[in-house]
Amino acid sequence: MANDQMMAQMSKKGGFIAALDQSGGSSPGALRLYGIPDSTYTDDQQKMFRLIHEFRVRIMTAPAFTGDKVIGAILFEGTMDGEVRGKPTPSYLWEDRGVVPFVKVDRGLEAEKDGVQLMRPMPQLDQLCERAVKLGVYGTKMRSVINLANRDGIAAIAAQQFEFGDQIARHGLMPILEPEVSIKSPDKKGAETILCEELKKLTDALPAGRQVMFKITLPDEPDLYKPLIDHPRCARVVALSGGYSRSEACQKLAQNHGMIASFSRALVQDLRVSMSDAEFEAALAQSIDEIYRASTAKM
């Protein structure tokens, strides 16, 4: 079954996950970096999403973007619902490229409280999960943010992630839980230590046969999350670039054994709309190779 093959790939295969899930709030920044100014689509959100989809299609159809090194891809909901070369995006990724599809499900962040930003309510979650299953998506991703080393706030973040993760798992989907620690936190190391403890406690309590994945900020202390990486109820721990440049993110990633990348900005930072296809594909291939090495060859 495809799901068994996807599970084996996500839990064991060397490589990394591409994060192609910029939403309405983050798409303008991604397009600016790509070389498309806001004035191109002023007050026309449909055009903005069309441009970001064209950018993603250019990435997904590039020769280097295959399951040999890119073992998974996280999609924005609109990208999941769209098409690539006449096929639904998840089908194209898995059947044509050998890349496991995920979908971002969160609806943004609440205001900060106790040093953290919880996820907003997700009344649409069940319907989105049902649609994702029909389209052949393997799993989901949802993000919340930790700004301070506040144990109450971090415990609330972890509890909310696991609560939604349980709801997602009931649809047969693999949840990626993403409690991001801001790299600007005044006590990033302290926040990460608390987070690791809270995630370990809740992972220990998962029912037999249930697994989750984690997407976390590259830690200040190398191998801090090794207890999660080695946990039988954790399928994989992946790292977000979090504002680090690709070279800095890869250097940090290579110090964390068993952790692989799930980079967004760091993956596409050298890609420009003005590039010829050959230039674009060469730049993307170089980025993929660099992130793959950091994900598989550890210090």
How far is the CA of 138 from the CAs of 171, 196, 207, 208, 263, in angstroms?
A: 10, 25, 20, 20, 19
All structural domains of the chain: 2-6+16-296 (3.20.20.70)
Following DSSP, what letter does each residue of 212-273 receive, concatenated? Answer: EEEEEEPPSSTTTTHHHHT-TTEEEEEEE-TT--HHHHHHHHTTSTT-EE--SHHHHTT--T
Asked whether 221 and 253 are in contact (CB, 8 A), the reply is: no
Residue 178 annotated as catalytic: yes
- Neighbour tally for 87: CB within 10 Å: 13
**Which one of 69, 178, 188, 192 is the catalytic residue?**
178
CB 138 within 8 A of CB 100: yes
Judge contact between 260 and 288, C-beta under 8 A.
no
Identity of the amino acid at 173: L
Q: Would the pLDDT of 1 be above 50?
A: no
Out of 215, 252, 281, 290, the active site residue is: 215
Per the annotation, the verdict on 54 as an active-site residue is no
Of 57, 94, 70, give the one whose Cα is nearest residue 16.
70
pLDDT tens-place string over residues 96-142:
999 999 999 999 999 999 999 999 999 999 999 999 999 999 999 99
Answer yes or no: are the C-beta atoms of 225 and 256 closer than 8 Å. yes
pLDDT(296) > 50: yes
Q: Is the pLDDT of residue 48 over 80?
A: yes
**pLDDT one-digit tens code per residue, 64-94:** 999 999 999 999 999 999 999 999 999 999 9
Angle at 71 between CA 67 and CA 72, to 5 degrees: 120
- The 10s digit of each residue's pLDDT in 10-47 is 999 999 999 999 777 788 889 999 999 999 998 788 89
Name the nearest CA neighbour of 180 among 219, 211, 151, 152: 219
